[in-house]
Amino acid sequence: MAEAIAKHAYTGGAHAPVKKATFELFARPTAKTGLVGWLTTVDHKKIGMLYGGFAIFFFLVGGLEALLIRTQLIVPNNHFLEAQTYNELFTMHGTTMIFLAVMPLNAAFFNLLIPLQVGARDVAFPRLNSFSLWVWVVGAILLNVGWLSHFVPAWKFGGAPSVGWFGYAPLTSKAFTPQLSTDLWVFGLQVLGLSSIVASLNFIVTIINMRAPGLTMMRLPVFTWMALVTSFLLILALPAIAIALVEVMFDRNFGTNFFEVSGGGQPILWQHLFWVFGHPEVYILILPPMGYVSEILPTFSRKPLFGYPIIVFSGVAIGFIGFGVWSHHMFTTGLGNVATAAFALATMAIAVPTGVKIFNWIGTLWGGQIMTRVPMMFALGFIWMFMLGGFSGIMHSAAPADAQQQDSYFVIAHFHYVLIGGATFALLAAIHYWFPKFFGRMVPEFWGKLSFWLIFIGFNCTFFPMHFLGLNGMPRRTWTYDSNMGWNEGNLVASCGAYLLGLGIFTYFAVLIWSFFKGKVAGNDPWDGRTMEWSIPSPPPEHNFAAIPTVHARDAWWYEKHHQEEIAQERAEHIQAEESHGGIHMPDQSWYPIIAAFGLLIGTYNMAQLHHPVEMFNKVIFATHLPLAITGLCILVTACYLWSLEGPGGYHLHIAPDGKVTESRGDH
């Protein structure tokens, strides 16, 4: 009985009767490859790869923006860029790197790995997952369309957003930035937030509810734990910025007074709401990387993670304390002594759980057999660099000292150490580590190591001098500086370092592309891994597991490798049981998620310019964008409705004893 339910309720919904005569607006696509296959996919691995591909593209774009920034600052009083362009560049650099590069890269790994690590066939809500992806794309488009006005005068967006990545009110009010770019920034972030919330809800349910038998919470791989904490942070932190963005949007479009001083508004409220989100956000960026590192270090030390429960607990603690420290970004806004002191102390407290992680990673290395493969080098680089970044964070937390550091290059140094030395290093480690799993090919060691050293050296040359620039009084977000300030050499070194770093990044990705086509074919388990994803073929088949595994220990695969007979028998039984009740159920692809996202694009794009007339072919078509905005929202609602009627659908896979997979639809 329970098995029967299992089969149906796997996708969580109603089971359609056998002979269905649904009036279908769009036939459910079945193509697994090709454009349609990718656009309508609900397979978590494909969605993960799409996330990853887009994110890497935007990482390069953000990096290019950074290189332009560094080029402008290479000498004093430079005229390479105009002030306005520079402001657009750093705004978009920050926004891109955070929302369009690191977050989606993490989302990519969530998608790729969570179902594999918990032993599931997909996420809990596969179509919702595809919706998150396409909504994210909508947000990325909205944020970046502004660039077009630099190339096509007809697009009057007023350039890319230029309010800084935290868009402090009242600079975002219509009086100071009347351009459309700011509206697009507001809507872009809002849409990205929606995407993240939806995706996170999905991951939370997947991790909590779709664990394979025997996989208790305290056996969950650390990466998955960190993904869970991150997802919680996302659903709890994003609402704050969502409300703040709504308020700005109302201020800009409907004359409300939230941040309008003449009406009694207090712009500081924006800062509070932003950082209530913004600080947890930085842990959203770093916790998944801590997860990657916690997977990679044990693998290459050939030892389990030291102090697993404490690492997990400290991750949760970081997430929790992270909600109580937001005002450390506002030490200079005159919070009052008590609040300043309270937030300073709370901020320092975060060093403790973070330190615990560092200590346990060292504990993991201790007594191991360290194999310095490329992922391991990035992971070790992560520990070193993140520690340095954490220390400058502690320096910030001493509020009176921060009065000198805030908005100076010292902050830039701090957060690039944690964001690049931390998050990015770990991501590069992760990409390298899991590349063989998802593409079935190895990345050559030599080129990997070369790119590591280029990146490591370039990174330190770029950002180490920035500490000194900051202490020497160089403010951030300045498009130019004078030659008598003592900043010339530091900036020159930093810019040269940035080029080196760029070269390293270029090498890294060029090698990946080469390996994709020409790399040595990897086996299922090239690194002698410890978690479940290494137990299945590379690249993983559509259904992930021929049989849902039963988990017996914390490092599930490691355990299986050392208890092979027992496991083999268990496996065979599982396969048989599954086949006896109809085979492996797989969800159907669907058009509706992407159509809904398209509706959202039309809706938000037009809502952003509500008060402008719609012009086409030099003619005013509508007096406002309202009709188009409503059209977009109607598409969205209709698509969601059809989506709910469509049901999860599905087909079955049957695995023959010789491993051949066949597909069956309908009757069973």
Partner 1 sequence: MNSHAATIDHHHDATTATGIPNKKLLWWAFLASDCMFFGALISTHLVYRLNPPPGNAVPTQIFNIELTSFSTFILLMSSLLMALAVNAIQRGNVRSTRTMLLGTMFFGCLFLGGQVFEFTHFVYVKKMTLSNSIFGSTFFTLTGTHGTHVAIGVLLLGMMYVRTFKPAQGGGLLLNFVHLLAVCVTFGVAFIWFVPGMIEVVYGASFSELLREHAIPFAAGIVGLIALIALGRTRGAVEFGEKNAIDVEAIGLYWHFVDIVWIIIFTAVYLLEYL
Partner 2 sequence: MSAPATTADAGHHEPSKFHFYIQIAMILSVITGVEVVLVYLPIAKWFVVTALCTLSAVKFMFVIFFFMHLRWDKVFCTILFFIGLVLAGGTMWALLHIFGADASKPLSAAMLETAHLAIA
Partner 3 sequence: MTRTRPAYRKFFRFAPAFLAGLGLVLLTSCNKVHQVFSLSGPQSTMVTDGPVAARQWDLFMITVYVTTFIFIVVGAVLAYAQIKFRAKSEADEKSEPPHQGHGNPLIEIGLIAASVALLVIIAIPTVRDIWYTHDVPDEEKGNALDVTATGYQWWFQFKYDTEMVKLPAGGETPLVTGNELVVPAGRPIRVQVRTVDVIHSFWVPKLAGKVDMMPNRANFLWFKADRPGYYYGQCAEYCGESHAIMRFRVIALAQPDYDKWLANQKQPARSVTAKSLAAAASVPRVQFASMKLESGAALSGSPEFDANPLAAWHKQQDVEKDEDPALVAKGRQLFSDKTCVSCHSIRGHEGIGVTGPDLTRVGSRSTVAAGVLENTPQLLGEWLRRPNHYKPGNKMWFGGFKVQDTQGEWQPNPKLSELSDAEINALVSYLHSLK
- The partner in contact with residue 78, picked from partner 2, partner 3, Cu ion, none with C-beta cut-offs of 5 to 8 angstroms by kind, is partner 3
- The partner in contact with residue 236, picked from ligand HEA, partner 3, partner 2, none with C-beta cut-offs of 5 to 8 angstroms by kind, is partner 2
Q: Are 375 and 432 in contact (CB under 8 A)?
A: yes
Q: Is 281 a residue of the active site?
A: yes
Q: How far is the C-alpha of 564 from the C-alpha of 531, rounded, in Å?
A: 15
- The partner in contact with residue 165, picked from partner 1, Cu ion, ligand HEA, none with C-beta cut-offs of 5 to 8 angstroms by kind, is ligand HEA
Does residue 400 bind partner 3 (CB under 8 A)? yes
Q: Which of 43, 122, 402, 560 is catalytic?
A: 122
In angstroms, give the least distance from the CB of 517 to ligand HEA.
19
Q: How far is the C-alpha of 100 from the C-alpha of 62, rounded, in Å?
A: 9
Does residue 364 bind ligand HEA (CB under 6 A)? no
Does residue 537 bind partner 3 (CB under 8 A)? no
Cβ distance to partner 3 smaller for residue 97 or 199: 97
Q: Each residue of 89-118: b (16+ CB within 10 Å) or e?
A: bbbbbbbbbbbbbbbbbbbbbbbbbbbbbb
Which parts of 266-285 interact with ligand HEA (CB under 6 A)?
A: 282, 285
Q: Which of 149, 182, 327, 354 is catalytic?
A: 354
Given candidates 404, 644, 662, 664, which one binds partner 1 under the rule CB under 8 A?
A: 644
Q: Which of 147, 185, 225, 283 is catalytic?
A: 283
Write out 215-266 in H/E/C secondary structure.
CCHHHCCHHHHHHHHHHHHHHHHHHHHHHHHHHHHHHHHHCCCCCCHHHCCC
**Number of Cβ atoms within 10 Å of the Cβ of 284:** 28
Q: Is 174 a residue of the active site?
A: no
Given candidates 121, 211, 272, 328, which one binds ligand HEA under the rule CB under 6 A?
A: 328
Alpha carbons within 13 A on the beta-carbon side of 526: 22
Cβ distance to partner 2 smaller for residue 322 or 393: 322
Q: Is 195 a residue of the active site?
A: yes
Q: How far is the C-alpha of 451 from the C-alpha of 500, rounded, in Å?
A: 10
Does residue 301 bind partner 3 (CB under 8 A)? yes
In angstroms, give the least distance from the CB of 130 to ligand HEA.
26
Q: Are 529 and 557 in contact (CB under 8 A)?
A: yes
Please tell me what DSSP assigns to residue 145: G
What backbone torsions phi and psi does residue 664 show, to the nearest 5 degrees?
-140, 145
Does residue 264 bind partner 1 (CB under 8 A)? yes
Which parts of 409-448 interact with partner 3 (CB under 8 A)?
A: 446
Minimal CA–CA distance to 554: which of 525, 580, 530? 530
Does residue 630 bind partner 1 (CB under 8 A)? no
Minimal CA–CA distance to 204: which of 244, 163, 234, 178? 234
Q: How far is the C-alpha of 112 from the C-alpha of 301, rounded, in Å?
A: 24
Does residue 12 bind partner 1 (CB under 8 A)? yes
Where are any strands of DSSP class E within 31-113? none
Cβ distance to partner 3 smaller for residue 10 or 487: 487
Given candidates 93, 272, 279, 652, which one binds Cu ion under the rule CB under 5 A?
A: 279
Given candidates 236, 398, 614, 626, which one binds partner 3 under the rule CB under 8 A?
A: 398
Residue 408 forms beta bridges with which residues? 475
Q: How far is the C-alpha of 544 from the C-alpha of 120, rounded, in Å?
A: 8
Binding region for partner 1 (CB under 8 A):
1-2, 4-6, 8-10, 12, 14-17, 19-25, 124-125, 197, 201-202, 204-205, 208-211, 215, 235-240, 242-244, 246-247, 250, 254-258, 263-266, 269, 273, 276, 637, 641, 644-645
Catalytic residues: 93, 122, 165, 195-196, 279, 281, 283, 294, 328-329, 354, 357, 476
Binding region for Cu ion (CB under 5 A):
279
